[in-house]
């Protein structure tokens, strides 16, 4: 996936979260979601945000970890 696809997924999850908070029931990827699904929606959004961050870090040449040097 590229950054545009990931941004689209984040946008979909954000819109779903807003809709559920407004008391609406939505269907996303064939699954009906309501207020009870709010934690799942948030987990999905967080997953895509982390994936976006990882993609940006890898493009910048960052490895995602640091090395400790001991004397």
Distance CA 10, CA 16 (A): 10
Instruction: Please give the pLDDT value at position 62.
Output: 66
Query: What integer best gives the mean pLDDT of the chain?
Result: 86
In tens, the pLDDT along 48-62 reads 999 999 888 888 776
H/E element, 28: strand 26-28
pTM, 2 dp? 0.72
Q: Does residue 41 contact residue 20 with C-beta atoms inside 8 Å?
A: yes
Instruction: Please give the pLDDT value at position 37.
Output: 84
C-alpha pair distances (Å), 71 with each of 16, 45, 67, 68: 51, 42, 13, 10
Q: Does residue 45 contact residue 15 with C-beta atoms inside 8 Å?
A: no
């Amino acid at each position: 996936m590229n950054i545009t696809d990931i941004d689209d997924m984040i946008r979909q999850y954000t819109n779903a979260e807003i809709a559920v908070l407004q008391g609406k029931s939505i269907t996303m990827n064939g699954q009906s979601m309501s207020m009870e699904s709010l934690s799942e929606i948030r987990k999905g959004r967080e997953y895509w945000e982390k994936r976006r961050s990882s993609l940006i870090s890898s493009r910048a040449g960052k490895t995602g970890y640091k090395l400790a040097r001991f004397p």
